[in-house]
A and B are shown apart, each in its own frame.
Chain A
């Protein structure tokens, strides 16, 4: 399909224009993807540093390295950076930007300039958010719950304003992807021939476009209340703090799926490719992405089982949350079934995909425990919840990002990663992760509240184990960073399709030319035809 006959084979998207300005003004989706990659990695390093500091403080009872105020700020910045600047843009804006148009057989996204604008929104929003540090920082946690956030230190308003601007980055990316999927598919590419990564990004984009504006409005209301004294959420001004929670979680629960659905898409690609086998239950996986996205709009109240909402509301939200479990279980079973009678190779991307399945399964079943309203009352606001969402967000999304980077590294830079070091990095991250977060399930069951600066002496040994695990993860990711930088600089040339993958992005040179394909691809079969 992809002929290079009339084109300079040495020209690709990396070298067809040169200079920093060409990068800062680029409208090439691949270059914008790389800009996101650099930004997200920097933000991840900052957010990860806060995580290390938090675990250092929690290493022992009493003050270890910081006081309560500093701890609250470290926790707030860890959460806000990881959610708004790393996990939400991580897969859609970075990997999605790079890969989605190519998987569709398109030259670019539908609105290339808006695509660049979305990256600038992220950067400007991040700059505003970090300004918070100049004004005493913020100590509300990433959820900005009222009425505390209306009255606490001034830095909070900057962090809120930053999150507001970053939201536009997410909305614009989602809008771009929806239009791209509808209008720019290659000839012959029906919806049922789209790769599952595209299905996942499409479902995510619907969430980004429909849910993020609610967060934006909520944050504006918060700023209006704080700056102008208009009573919206603060009872002293006639407002209702629980209303804020409803608004906030109406966005932030779908946001959980903005974080995890693209990861599921990456895992579908990895498992099919490294098993060299047609994906089992293609339509079920594709539709379950859309199903999860749709149902996710109606489950926000499970964050509020003890908030004072009515018993009926609690029961209803518990029921709907259980329904999300069904398509999620279907996906998991389909991935495992795809491996059945496959030809499985354990390259580092596949190790990350298997790590995802392992951790996401534990994250999933503990999610069902938390959806069960009768026991959630005890687990709510304890370390059980912290462990659960890290198993889903870190164990799920970050595993998929790492697997995705190693998988598409040959496509992005035409080079292979060093497998030995990539595997060492994986083992450290995987083992460190379980050592960090599994003890937190036990701490939560024992009743240890989350967000606390200090804890009872009987929780100390498990907290020490957890801290050792966190530092192991840190070392693992540092090695992973080294693997990525080494591959970009000195990795072995990969050739166009080192994994023998069947999706369209691999049917063009690596790295790809400026407009992806020298010849317009025509699609005649599904994306996983390994027979």
Chain B
């Protein structure tokens, strides 16, 4: 993955998997665009071409067309299945836990995050990993539902009280990525959102600040 630029409107890519997510996103965008052009285009063309010229016009009785109905059932089904299988492959990559990864215990709470490294180092509100290092986060919450979301990593995982939820990632670039701490249930408070990623020469450092500041 050479580019840190995301696909159309997507954030920069800061993990290898981000490029795979974006490729699928591009496929879906193109397929969606073509579908919209066909349906909305047909709608507009028929609306113009068959507008009523005089009251009492007779219209033909066209109740169905088996071939056409088969085609417009089967073709979308095939496209949906392509999207499904591709999505499955990407999802499997997103959810695969890297072997021999750096394990970091993560605890979310209103309104901060604590990261505990294997060495016993405990850091509140700041998350630092070396570029290229496989990382496995083992996350739990002290109070309500939270969500770990780094747009540039294309990864997101709810953090649930009473459970340990894993999340694997491998940062490949230093990136001006925003780190959002979503609080699903309590929605949000100004002091918990948004939080920012800081970039350093060798490390991806995700900082947690009280108020928005440019990285």
Which A residues are within 8 Å of any B CB, using their own CB? 61, 68, 72, 75, 139-141, 145-149, 151-152, 235-236, 240-242, 275-278, 280-284, 305-308, 311, 314-315, 318-319, 322-323, 325-326, 329-330, 332-333, 336-337, 339-346, 354, 357-358, 361-362, 365-366, 368-369, 371-378, 380-381, 442, 445-447, 449, 451-457, 530-531
Q: A141 to B144, alpha carbons, bound, how many Å?
A: 14
- Chain A residues with CB under 8 Å of B205's CB are none
B95 touches A311 (CB 8 A): yes
From A362, A442, A452, contact of B193 by CB (8 A): A452
Q: A468 to B196, alpha carbons, bound, how many Å?
A: 29
Taking CB as reference atom, which chain B residue is nearest A462?
A: B9
A368 touches B28 (CB 8 A): yes
- Chain A residues with CB under 8 Å of B188's CB are 68, 72, 449, 451-454
Q: A454 to B189, alpha carbons, bound, how many Å?
A: 9
Taking CB as reference atom, which chain A residue is nearest B150?
A: A447
Taking CB as reference atom, which chain A residue is nearest B177?
A: A447
A308 touches B165 (CB 8 A): yes
- Chain A residues with CB under 8 Å of B143's CB are 147
A449 touches B182 (CB 8 A): yes
Among A326, A336, A345, chain B packs the most CB atoms within 10 A around the CB of A336
From B8, B68, B162, B165, contact of A235 by CB (8 A): B162
Q: Which of B168-185 contact A (CB under 8 A)?
A: 178, 180, 182, 184-185
Q: A357 to B39, alpha carbons, bound, how many Å?
A: 8
Taking CB as reference atom, which chain B residue is nearest A374?
A: B90
Jot down 20 A-B pairs with beta carbons below 8 A, ordered by A: A140-B185, A148-B185, A242-B163, A306-B158, A308-B158, A332-B39, A339-B50, A340-B50, A341-B59, A346-B51, A368-B83, A371-B80, A374-B20, A375-B90, A377-B156, A447-B149, A453-B189, A456-B212, A531-B58, A531-B59
A145 touches B36 (CB 8 A): no
Among B58, B91, B160, chain A packs the most CB atoms within 10 A around the CB of B91
A329 touches B193 (CB 8 A): no
A449 touches B21 (CB 8 A): no
Minimum CB–CB distance for B148 against chain A, Å:
9
B178 touches A456 (CB 8 A): yes
Q: Does B136 contact A (CB under 8 A)?
A: no
A373 touches B156 (CB 8 A): no
A68 touches B62 (CB 8 A): no
Which B residues are within 8 Å of any A CB, using their own CB? 8-11, 20-21, 24-25, 28-29, 31-32, 35-36, 39-40, 42-43, 46-47, 50-53, 57-65, 68-69, 72-73, 76-77, 80-81, 83-84, 86-95, 143-145, 147, 149, 151, 154-158, 160-163, 165, 178, 180, 182, 184-190, 193-194, 212
Among A72, A371, A372, A531, chain B packs the most CB atoms within 10 A around the CB of A372
A306 touches B76 (CB 8 A): no
A148 touches B186 (CB 8 A): yes
B80 touches A377 (CB 8 A): no
Taking CB as reference atom, which chain A residue is nearest B153?
A: A378
- Those 8 A-B pairs whose CB atoms lie nearest each other, nearest first: A235-B162, A374-B90, A148-B185, A447-B151, A372-B87, A365-B32, A374-B87, A445-B9
Q: A47 to B60, alpha carbons, bound, how many Å?
A: 44
- Chain B residues with CB under 8 Å of A381's CB are 147, 149, 156, 182, 184
Taking CB as reference atom, which chain B residue is nearest A324?
A: B80
Given that A329-B72, A357-B40 are known contacts, is A374 also in contact with B89, CB under 8 Å in the complex? yes
Q: A278 to B94, alpha carbons, bound, how many Å?
A: 49
Q: A235 to B9, alpha carbons, bound, how many Å?
A: 39
Q: A374 to B47, alpha carbons, bound, how many Å?
A: 38
- Chain A residues with CB under 8 Å of B25's CB are 369, 375, 378, 445
From A75, A306, A372, contact of B24 by CB (8 A): A372
B59 touches A530 (CB 8 A): yes
Minimum CB–CB distance for B77 against chain A, Å:
5
B158 touches A374 (CB 8 A): no
Q: A281 to B66, alpha carbons, bound, how many Å?
A: 9
B145 touches A333 (CB 8 A): no
- Chain B residues with CB under 8 Å of A236's CB are 161-162
